[in-house]
Amino acid sequence: MATLCRPAVSVPEYVITMEETLELARSRHADHPQLGLCLRLIENTGVRTRHLVQPVEETLAHPGFEERNRLYAAEAKARVPLVVRRALEDAGLRAADIDLIVYVSCTGFMMPSLTAWLINSMGFPSTTRQLPIAQLGCAAGGAAINRAHDFCTAYPEANALIVACEFCSLCYQPTDLGVGSLLSNGLFGDGVAAAVVRGSGGVGVRLERNGSYLVPGTEDWIAYDVRATGFHFLLDKRVPGTMEPLAPALLALADGHGWDASDLDFFIVHAGGPRILDDLSKFLGVPPDAFRFSRATLTEYGNVASVVVLDALRRLFDAGGAGDGARGLLAGFGPGITAEMTLGRWSGTP
């Protein structure tokens, strides 16, 4: 049975605090008619610090889409190998043991994908399958786990490497002044992560069942408007309420597996914002502390898109994991509105 091993996570060295974010909003948008609302929304995110690939002064400048995408590629090549090496080590594998690389990112574009560069530069076999996913946004962390699970179910002796690379700060647009855009400026952060799914062996979450669900008629609630200046993030004010239609999908996935989603031992979910976690607590009937690892990621790193699920899982590992056989749910939420969901049991025995 496929096992999701300990993720490795790295965040850049440049840090911006909540206080600095609020002061920037006040100084740059002093005449904004809804500045007070924007400041309250940013404060309510619960994000205390975020990490950026550039100093904040450079982040606030816009040198053009071409330069930003060049920086994306350069930073990905500089930062991803470290987490890949650590993830392989934690899984007890070498690059030569990997049969599939799933690469997820929505904050830059490369063709060939970074997967080709990784194969050429890090010793992965030339026969390694490549699966780059670029348009699932924050849901892609969950999708990467699910596609790796599917692959290792089809090929039980195979191993898959998941890589998530998100530099959300490179999508900052100084001319976007809507409430959703200003909120996003105080919510998203940068980071990279990697994890191995072993077809057999390994310590971590034994993956048992996965599923997807798309809320009909919501494809424009989270979107990119792609212009000459790059990716312009669109965030509908209805997004924070999406757990009401998505929670039943989580309950149904568990029910189809003979489990009760309200009676699981651990929850690793994408923390898009505090209301997402508060509503999940209510609709699943679990205590708020059930999402403590996701809340910690949100507080310390902000919303790091596809990286969030892997970082929250890393925190579960660092806390000592769960007891053998403990049942859990992993989920990522993103554009669509889409949920990518996984059920699994903790296994501390290789």
Could you give the residue numbers annotated as active site? 138
Record the tokens describing residue 222, joined without a space: 């989270």
Record the tokens describing residue 203, joined without a space: 């310590």
Task: Name the one residue in this structure whose structure tokens are 């994408």.
Answer: 270
Nearest to 316 by CA among 299, 295, 334: 295
Residues 103 and 124: beta-carbon distance below 8 Å? no
Neighbouring-strand partners of residue 215: none
Give the span between the Cα atoms of 267 and 263, in whole angstroms. Answer: 10
Contacts of 216 (CB under 8 A, 6+ apart): none
Record the tokens describing residue 101, joined without a space: 């690389």
Give the span between the Cα atoms of 342 and 144, in whole angstroms. Answer: 11
Strands (E), 149-227: 159-167, 190-198, 204-218, 222-227
Give the span between the Cα atoms of 233 and 223, in whole angstroms. Answer: 6
Task: Enumerate long-range contacts of 283-290, CB under 8 Å, 24 or more apart.
Answer: 283/243, 283/244, 283/247, 283/248, 284/247, 284/250, 284/251, 286/262, 290/266
